[in-house]
A and B are shown apart, each in its own frame.
Chain A
Amino acid sequence: MRVSLNEIQVMCRKAFEGMGFAAGDCEDAADMVGWLQLQGLDGIGALEKALDYLQSEAEKPFALRYEDSVLLVIDAKGQSVLRCAATVVEFALSKALRGGQAVLQIHQCHNRLLLLGYLGRVAELGLDVQARWGDARQVRIASFRAGNGCPDLHIEERSCAEDVEQSITVIFSRPATPARPQASAHAALAQGFSVHEATWLRLKQLAEQVLVESTEASRRNGAGGGSDID
């Protein structure tokens, strides 16, 4: 089925709320999924893969393991980056804007692909960004040029399988020459976005968790009562 950007953002926001995300995180995560779709990336598909983790985990704060003027090391305690990585990305961004460069390492995290949504917005603010993460067989590299929220994606095969930690490292740097912002993706809006009906239905079911069952009393008075007679 085809849906609009607004529908994606509203549905995701409600679904995240239904999953117990905090105010602020709901909006960040939903906007990020919408942003991925706008860039031609499958934000909804990536979210679908993340849902199993998200629904099973209980939110606990990330831990700050190390910090100096350039480096920020975060322990996500085995949670999805959707939970509150937006805040640490903002923190690293502020360091880079101040000092020209910052490095963010998030350890013990899931759904790392989804972090790209946040990084793309940082790139649009004028920083070069490179993210590296991997599994036993591959290393993935996403590179954003300042001013352009759409990344170049690159995969390197490891020569031999390694036992690697579930982490991601991101380098933010101010470019030598100021960035030129790219045109926005209004054309994509007019086409709408294709999503799988089953995924949409799953999100809808999560979103319905924020709804309160109607009763005769709430039906009568909750929206105001008063005469509806013309």
Chain B
Amino acid sequence: MSDTEFAALALRPASQVMDLPRLGSHFQSPLSFVRSSMRRMMNQHWRIQRSRFDLNEEGFGTAIYRIDTPNARYHCVILSAYLPPEKRSDRVIADQWDISFVLVAGDLDEAQLVDLRRNVPLQEAGRFDARVLVLSRANRSLRNFEQFVSALAEGTQPDPRQLANVGYLYRTTAVYGNGKFGIADFGCLQDNADFKQPFSAQMFAVYLLRHFSIEQIEHMARARNPQRAVKLDIALQRYLGVGNSTGLGMAPFLLNHPQLVDQWILARETGLARVAAQAADPVRMQRFHQLLQRAQLHLQQTVTEDLRQHEQDLQTLVDLTLLGDWLNRQPASDDLWSSLLAWSEAHAGMGCQELLVSLLLELYPEQVTPLADQMGVLENWQLDAQMPLDELRELIEQHYDWALAYDFSDTDAEHFFWYRSAEKEEPRLGMRAEEPGAEKEMQLGIARNIQRCHRALLDHLRAHPNQLTAHFLIAQPAFKGTVRRLQGMAQCTYGEIRTNLLARDMLPIHLLRCKLAFFGAGKFDPKSSRWVRITLFQGAPLVSEIGQPFADDWNFAVMPKGDH
């Protein structure tokens, strides 16, 4: 994106875009990581071949896939084992899973395989080296797994409604990259054309799990009933995704990597502004209506027991119908897309508004998908030590007015504290007035930090009106992190997520959804305000379809046959 283009685009303001409930209303888009990963695989004709498949009739054993891209070779090693029922848990504190797997760079030798067999099932307790790019584990969806195997073994197809309710056979509970437990640092991938974009290696590993899950249940069905067993119908294979269960651990990531978040949001908003500047024509309008109908059906088929999410989904469906009606009354015009955005802001809830953004991003792929190559950023904080203190004060008051507006004399504003539990360092939320540990809280209260810094700065300025930022920080070193952050974020278009993460009415689920939508998640199914189950790759092309013509049109998957 050139500076000239950037200046000319009408970007939505940060005050609107960085509002937490809005971020928590995002849907997947062409910029989501599963979408860009799939485009790379399809456009470059990656070859994925099974090189070992030693599974018994229960599906336990080892599977290995070899992957050849135009740039390199990789292997995915999947270990499947019996999981005692009492060990089954989605939480970080679990220590055993149905399957564990790794994505490894290069060729595999027997010695490495022996080492992997010993360490991969241990997950966090194992040790790895930089040949391993991704480490993950997953549990079976008990509901789907047995019914799918039984149906196939009987020579019938499972009921598609099962996949509409729970869209996967396996649910990952962590997908580790970037140096965890000795695996490759993200820096190792900076020159790797296949996986240099954030989370691309992790998303690819998840895609391989989806492929394995299909091959595994077909194998089990055959083993159970060799005469009658059938393969899973192709339409159901495509409708099958991979689940993921995500908790509070995702929230600190977003707060601790604001430059990366800024980059992601900037790409999305730039894409939107580019689309809004296009003149609508009948072909694009028809395409929009098709996308809208599919998204409505997808949302109708999204099942959640979470009341807040359910009500928001219902409201979004009502709004989408009104939006479609309004659009039907409009002729093609130069400013139709921006008018549609404006209509949604005036008449619809955030769910509809942000779903509209995702749909608009589909309309002009040539304007949008190149931005998917700009989702990475070299995170770098540079203190401006020479900045005069009155300038620093203005910076805070201009860019962090939202943070200064919170009233921290109200105990509800500091109701929660975030901490790491001694139990596998699981991130948790505690109530400050009732639970021990607040003195060890994680520094996620950005708004509170800004207020404290602002107050100390005003005091310092009164005594030393002509001093510089460095003088303030030499006298008050505790504010260095805050000052450096705010100086850096003031140069970003979007920057900070505008919320008080300590407030009683704060919903962490919004943070989780924002990040998961960038991953490409669908079927958001919150299990509480602090953890959520989602589905990835539902509707994506199959491994056997890599190399065939590809339209990049698989978002908002709907149940085969199209109705309930």
- A interface residues with partner B (beta carbon < 8 Å): 1-7, 22-28, 59, 61-64, 74, 83-84, 86-88, 90-91, 93-95, 98, 184, 186, 189-192, 208-214, 217-219, 222-228, 230
Please indicate which of the listed interface residues A26, A83, A209, A228 has the most CB atoms of chain B within 10 Å of its own CB: A228
Minimal beta-carbon separation of A72 from chain B (angstroms) = 9
Minimal beta-carbon separation of B562 from chain A (angstroms) = 27
Please report the C-alpha to C-alpha distance between residue A137 and residue B437 in the assembled complex, in whole angstroms.
Answer: 48
Closest partner residue, chain A, to B256 (CB atom):
A27
| Contact assessment for A94 and B386 in the assembled complex, using a CB-CB cutoff below 8 Å | yes
| Contact assessment for A230 and B428 in the assembled complex, using a CB-CB cutoff below 8 Å | no
Which of A25, A95, A212 sits near B436, CB closer than 8 Å?
Answer: A212
Please indicate which of the listed interface residues B248, B471, B480 has the most CB atoms of chain A within 10 Å of its own CB: B480
Task: Give the chain A neighbours of B17 by CB distance below 8 A.
Answer: none
Task: Give the chain A neighbours of B531 by CB distance below 8 A.
Answer: 223-224, 226
Known: A23-B443, A64-B471. A94 touches B385 (CB 8 A): yes
In the complex, whether B22 has a CB less than 8 A from a CB of chain A is no
Q: Could you list 15 A-B pairs, sorted by A, with CB under 8 Å?
A: A2-B182, A22-B478, A23-B481, A24-B478, A62-B477, A64-B474, A94-B384, A94-B385, A212-B430, A223-B427, A224-B530, A230-B139, A230-B140, A230-B142, A230-B166
Closest partner residue, chain A, to B530 (CB atom):
A224
| Contact assessment for A7 and B530 in the assembled complex, using a CB-CB cutoff below 8 Å | no
Q: Which residues 107-150 of B have a CB within 8 angstroms of A?
A: 127, 129-130, 139-143
Please report the C-alpha to C-alpha distance between residue A95 and residue B185 in the assembled complex, in whole angstroms.
Answer: 35
In the complex, whether B234 has a CB less than 8 A from a CB of chain A is no
The count of A-to-B residue pairs whose CB atoms sit within 8 angstroms is 180
Contacts beyond the supplied A87-B383, A91-B470: 5 A-B pairs with Cβ under 8 Å: A212-B440, A222-B426, A228-B90, A228-B91, A230-B142
Task: Give the chain A neighbours of B178 by CB distance below 8 A.
Answer: 6
| Contact assessment for B191 and A223 in the assembled complex, using a CB-CB cutoff below 8 Å | no
In the complex, whether B186 has a CB less than 8 A from a CB of chain A is yes
Please report the C-alpha to C-alpha distance between residue A90 and residue B381 in the assembled complex, in whole angstroms.
Answer: 11
In the complex, whether B366 has a CB less than 8 A from a CB of chain A is no
Q: Which residues 515-544 of B have a CB within 8 angstroms of A?
A: 526-531
Task: Give the chain A neighbours of B483 by CB distance below 8 A.
Answer: 24
Task: Give the chain A neighbours of B179 by CB distance below 8 A.
Answer: 4-7
Minimal beta-carbon separation of A227 from chain B (angstroms) = 6
Interface residues of B, dominant DSSP: loop
Minimal beta-carbon separation of A173 from chain B (angstroms) = 18
Which of A190, A211, A213, A227 sits near B184, CB closer than 8 Å?
Answer: A190
Which of A4, A25, A214, A230 sits near B185, CB closer than 8 Å?
Answer: A4
Please indicate which of the listed interface residues B178, B420, B423 has the most CB atoms of chain A within 10 Å of its own CB: B423
| Contact assessment for A23 and B482 in the assembled complex, using a CB-CB cutoff below 8 Å | yes
Minimal beta-carbon separation of A33 from chain B (angstroms) = 14
What class of interface size applies to chain B in its complex with A?
35 or more
Please report the C-alpha to C-alpha distance between residue A74 and residue B143 in the assembled complex, in whole angstroms.
Answer: 66
In the complex, whether B282 has a CB less than 8 A from a CB of chain A is no
Minimal beta-carbon separation of A78 from chain B (angstroms) = 16
| Contact assessment for B385 and A90 in the assembled complex, using a CB-CB cutoff below 8 Å | yes
Please indicate which of the listed interface residues B92, B385, B436 has the most CB atoms of chain A within 10 Å of its own CB: B385
Closest partner residue, chain A, to B473 (CB atom):
A87
10 A-B pairs with least C-beta separation: A6-B179, A24-B481, A224-B530, A222-B428, A212-B437, A4-B179, A24-B480, A226-B528, A23-B481, A226-B527
Known: A4-B182, A212-B420, A212-B436. A223 touches B247 (CB 8 A): yes
Q: Which residues 436-478 of B have a CB within 8 angstroms of A?
A: 436-437, 440, 443, 449, 470-471, 473-478
Please indicate which of the listed interface residues B90, B419, B421, B471 has the most CB atoms of chain A within 10 Å of its own CB: B421
Please report the C-alpha to C-alpha distance between residue A88 and residue B188 in the assembled complex, in whole angstroms.
Answer: 32
In the complex, whether B187 has a CB less than 8 A from a CB of chain A is yes
Please report the C-alpha to C-alpha distance between residue A98 and residue B178 in the assembled complex, in whole angstroms.
Answer: 37
Interface code B482-516, partner A: CB below 8 Å = 1, 0 otherwise? 11100000000000000000000000000000000
Closest partner residue, chain A, to B92 (CB atom):
A223
Known: A27-B481, A219-B423. A224 touches B180 (CB 8 A): no
Please report the C-alpha to C-alpha distance between residue A222 and residue B179 in the assembled complex, in whole angstroms.
Answer: 27
| Contact assessment for A90 and B425 in the assembled complex, using a CB-CB cutoff below 8 Å | no
Task: Give the chain A neighbours of B449 by CB distance below 8 A.
Answer: 23
Interface code B65-94, partner A: CB below 8 Å = 1, 0 otherwise? 000000000000000000000001111110
| Contact assessment for A189 and B248 in the assembled complex, using a CB-CB cutoff below 8 Å | no
Which of B89, B185, B384, B423 sits near A189, CB closer than 8 Å?
Answer: B185
Known: A27-B481, A211-B440, A225-B528. A4 touches B184 (CB 8 A): yes
Which of A6, A84, A214, A224 sits near B422, CB closer than 8 Å?
Answer: A214
| Contact assessment for B430 and A87 in the assembled complex, using a CB-CB cutoff below 8 Å | no
| Contact assessment for B527 and A227 in the assembled complex, using a CB-CB cutoff below 8 Å | yes
Minimal beta-carbon separation of A57 from chain B (angstroms) = 14
Closest partner residue, chain A, to B188 (CB atom):
A189
Please indicate which of the listed interface residues B92, B420, B476 has the most CB atoms of chain A within 10 Å of its own CB: B420
| Contact assessment for B130 and A4 in the assembled complex, using a CB-CB cutoff below 8 Å | yes
Task: Give the chain A neighbours of B89 by CB distance below 8 A.
Answer: 228
Which of B381, B383, B474 sits near A62, CB closer than 8 Å?
Answer: B474
Q: Which residues 387-424 of B have a CB within 8 angstroms of A?
A: 419-423
| Contact assessment for B440 and A84 in the assembled complex, using a CB-CB cutoff below 8 Å | no
| Contact assessment for A6 and B185 in the assembled complex, using a CB-CB cutoff below 8 Å | yes
Known: A91-B385, A186-B191, A211-B422. A61 touches B477 (CB 8 A): yes
Task: Give the chain A neighbours of B44 by CB distance below 8 A.
Answer: none
